[in-house]
Structure 1
Amino acid sequence: MLLPLAGPMPRTSSRVRALTAAAAAALLALPLTGCADFSDQDRSRQAGPFSSVPERGGPGQDQPPPPDTEETDPPKGPCVDPNPAVIATCLGTTGGVRPADPAGKTTYVAERRTGKIIISKRYGPQREVAAVPVDGGGDGGLIDFELSPTYLQDQMIYALITTGEDNRIVRIAPGNSVKPILTGIPKGATGNMGSISFVSPSELRVATGNAGNPGAANDPSSLAGKIFSIDPDAPAPRPTMIAAGFGSNVALCPDPLSGTLFVADSGPAGDRLQQVEAGGLRLLWSWADRPGVTGCAVTEGVISVSIASKFRIDSLTAPTNANPTVSEPQASDVKEQFGAVGRMSTFGAAAQIATINKSVPGAPPTTTNDRVAIFAGSASAEDRT
């Protein structure tokens, strides 16, 4: 079942993108304190919004200098990876990943099972900048996260997490104070992996898995297997439905240049890459053999889709008005270089990729797993002219 969009998908503002990149240095300075438990989250939900959050759009602060990304001589130790594309090592099983500087040499990445958000660059330093209690069983845990679009003012991080009762959207304030924003997203033994992405400061886009229940994805009363948006600052945000019918491992991949939204998932009919349009969803490509898509990213007109179980990344030329179909995927074998790749995120002409070798059978037993690396894409997407 396809649910029509309320209107065309807005393009992420340049201000949102600039503030997100600039926040990397501020993340390095976040204090490390203890975590709240789930009962604290539920109590805080009844207490109303944080009183200390500045009003969005208020006066800006001086931007901190960009993080130091100069390479140093390789240190010695078990977490030094010889692959020059690798920028973070010795991580737990990863969830979402985001570039932390415009050049993509610094990253912040979620450890899905521990609930930690780590910031790192090649050869360090590596720091925990936030932590939230999660249920990391199955494919749940700290699934994805986003910095607030006004992070330099409010220092908030938003996350899609799994608890003992549900999947939910939470807001993490300095000091690891966790406040539920939207609760009650169905949780299952599998099918919890989803994705979040800011469209604007007042619109957070959310994609959810079907929680192991294909019927829930087409049930309008369920938040499973859907794409919807919420205003994260509303006292009780009400989801605005965008599309339905998704399977597991749902990954959003917005095109940073055009604003077009693509989504990859593993559905009952096979693994798919779809485009979100004003009238619903348009199927662009399907993998009938169901290899298991795990992430996607768009870089300069090329859509890259990670397929962890096959240790490859498939690249397709994105559709245009002149050529509305995608190219046949061009496969990049990444087993030897990276292993099993999960989530991906765009920066410039490349993408950051997070490996999930610790959770994929047959993955290379690299001592520096799990890792974040830079993926420049296949040599070229197929020329359709």
Structure 2
Amino acid sequence: MTSGRTRSRLAVGALVLTLGAASGCSSDGTDAEPIPRVTQPTDLPSQPTPTDGQTDGESAPGAPPGTRGGPPEVVDTLVRGLEVPWGVDFLPDGDAVVTERISGRVDRVSADGEVTPLGTLPDAVPQGEAGLLGVAVSPDFVTDQTLFFYLTTGTDNRVVRTRLDGSRLGRTTVVLDGIPAGFIHDGGRIAFGPDGDLYVTTGETGDPELAQDPRSLAGKILRITPDGEPAPGNPDPDSPVWSLGHRNVQGLAWDDEGRLWASEFGDSTWDELNLVEKGGNYGWPRVEGAGGGSSYIDPQLVWPVDQASPSGLAFADGHLWMAGLRGQRLWRIPVSAGGQAAKPRAFLTEEYGRLRTVAAAPDGLLWLTTSNRDGRGEPTQADDRILLVRP
């Protein structure tokens, strides 16, 4: 089903990247051996941990569910029986395009729960954490009917695009290939930013040093045009790399001021929420969590790995919303006008199992997917599900 010109944009020269002040984060419960690294002790007072002074699920006194200051409310189970739903993005009419990691299937899901299969991407090869991952709807979908996907093949991770021909996917064209692939840490989230460029998250595939290698596309956040070229204004005009030093980013969201946030798996101590800067180095594998000094950018918040293992990230109702896999909870994170994240609160803890993706729908609700059929959960007959949440 794949056609078109293969385009691989590996920079051969060193990138000139702006260096900030430091970070790292946690894992999705893999059995991989930890690597030698500089880590932060768990009692380090400067770690921006969200647990101090927080009650799990605490909300404003007397505020009813689904109201500002109150707890979010699950108002419906929209879809049942999916196979590891991974990517969710919305069409102009309010329907969503949903990918399934293992089956390679792409579905169109309406706001009332009607599921229309659009086809499969047969080049997607599921293994470990890899397979058919993220989806992004073209900002010009009304005129170009184009969808973008991130998938793992037998040789690499890549971004492809296809037109939606009525109710079926057309032939795919490679947009960007040559992204290293592995059994673990494949990244996979893609999203169009306010600037109209496509942001792509990649993992370091279990080879931590790739995250610091400016010539590799692994362990990075990439920024490309819809045609796969390095976007104008990138740190290196010949490279798609926007930021580096990431272990495995699986969540991207822009707040109402246009700032880019990313949720990231750490190793054995800290998961992270990062405010992403152009050319920033986020420290992995030199440091996990905060405290890397002036060479790296510190995370805004960190979590013990058993409370998060974050995947999807969305911005709605003045907050970031972060889904936790191993943590099996939905985190609500206020963001100040100055771009500071503080006082996260957890909800739905262990009520629905592993939570993979959270997406802000056009009607103001959140779509929240479970990931209990991914080999690490305990699925029920209803799994996997898409839940409707009123923030």
The alpha-carbon deviation at position 84 of structure 1 amounts to 4.5
Structure 2 match to 1:265: 264
| Cα distance change, pair 100–367 in 1 and its aligned pair in 2 (3 A) | farther
SS at match of 2:78: strand
Q: Scaled by the length of structure 1, what TM-score is found?
A: 0.70
TM alignment of 1:1-385, pairs within 5 A: 36=1, 40-41=2-3, 44-45=4-5, 84-100=75-91, 106-121=95-110, 124-133=113-122, 134-173=124-163, 174=165, 175-199=169-193, 203-233=197-227, 239-255=239-255, 257-268=256-267, 270-278=270-278, 280=280, 281-289=297-305, 291-321=308-338, 325-336=340-351, 338-347=352-361, 349-359=364-374, 361-363=376-378, 365-377=379-391
- Over the matched positions of the two proteins, sequence identity in percent amounts to 27
Could you tell me how far apart the structure 2 residues matched to 1:201 and 1:117 are?
A: 26
| Cα distance change, pair 101–356 in 1 and its aligned pair in 2 (3 A) | farther
The alpha-carbon deviation at position 284 of structure 1 amounts to 0.8
2:266 partner amino acid: G
CA deviation vs aligned residue, 1:326-377 (integer Å, no higher than 9, x gap): 22221113433x32210111235432111111125353x3322111122234
The alpha-carbon deviation at position 179 of structure 1 amounts to 0.9
The alpha-carbon deviation at position 88 of structure 1 amounts to 1.8
The alpha-carbon deviation at position 279 of structure 1 amounts to 6.6
Cα contact 2:92–2:142 (8 A) shared by 1 = no
Could you tell me how far apart the structure 1 residues matched to 2:127 and 2:195 are?
A: 32
| Cα distance change, pair 236–340 in 1 and its aligned pair in 2 (3 A) | closer
SS at match of 2:193: strand
Cα contact 1:101–1:107 (8 A) shared by 2 = no
Could you tell me how far apart the structure 1 residues matched to 2:192 and 2:302 are?
A: 27
| Cα distance change, pair 372–254 in 1 and its aligned pair in 2 (3 A) | same
SS at match of 2:5: helix
SS at match of 2:154: coil
Could you tell me how far apart the structure 2 residues matched to 1:228 and 1:122 are?
A: 31
CA deviation vs aligned residue, 1:219-275 (integer Å, no higher than 9, x gap): 1011011112111226798543221111125211222x2211100011346210011
Structure 1 match to 2:288: none
CA deviation vs aligned residue, 1:116-163 (integer Å, no higher than 9, x gap): 211123664311124212001111111101111222222211111100
SS at match of 1:217: helix
Structure 1 match to 2:234: none
Question: Unmatched 5+ residue regions in structure 2?
Answer: 8-73, 232-237, 281-296
Could you tell me how far apart the structure 2 residues matched to 1:343 and 1:282 are?
A: 24
Moved over 6 A (4+): none
Cα contact 1:342–1:354 (8 A) shared by 2 = yes
| Cα distance change, pair 168–131 in 1 and its aligned pair in 2 (3 A) | same
Work out which structure has the larger RCO, using CA pairs closer than 8 Å and 6 or more positions apart in sequence.
2
| Cα distance change, pair 239–112 in 1 and its aligned pair in 2 (3 A) | farther
Structure 2 match to 1:3: none
The alpha-carbon deviation at position 203 of structure 1 amounts to 1.7
2:367 partner amino acid: Q
Could you tell me how far apart the structure 1 residues matched to 2:320 and 2:81 are?
A: 28
CA deviation vs aligned residue, 1:80-106 (integer Å, no higher than 9, x gap): xxx74221221111111124467x6x4
Could you tell me how far apart the structure 2 residues matched to 1:317 and 1:191 are?
A: 28
The alpha-carbon deviation at position 319 of structure 1 amounts to 3.1
2:299 partner amino acid: L
Cα contact 1:142–1:161 (8 A) shared by 2 = yes
SS at match of 1:343: strand
Q: Scaled by the length of structure 2, what TM-score is found?
A: 0.69
| Cα distance change, pair 178–369 in 1 and its aligned pair in 2 (3 A) | same
Could you tell me how far apart the structure 1 residues matched to 2:181 and 2:140 are?
A: 30
The alpha-carbon deviation at position 200 of structure 1 amounts to 5.7
Cα contact 2:6–2:177 (8 A) shared by 1 = no
Could you tell me how far apart the structure 1 residues matched to 2:343 and 2:228 are?
A: 43
Structure 2 match to 1:50: none
Could you tell me how far apart the structure 2 residues matched to 1:120 and 1:189 are?
A: 29
Structure 2 match to 1:67: none
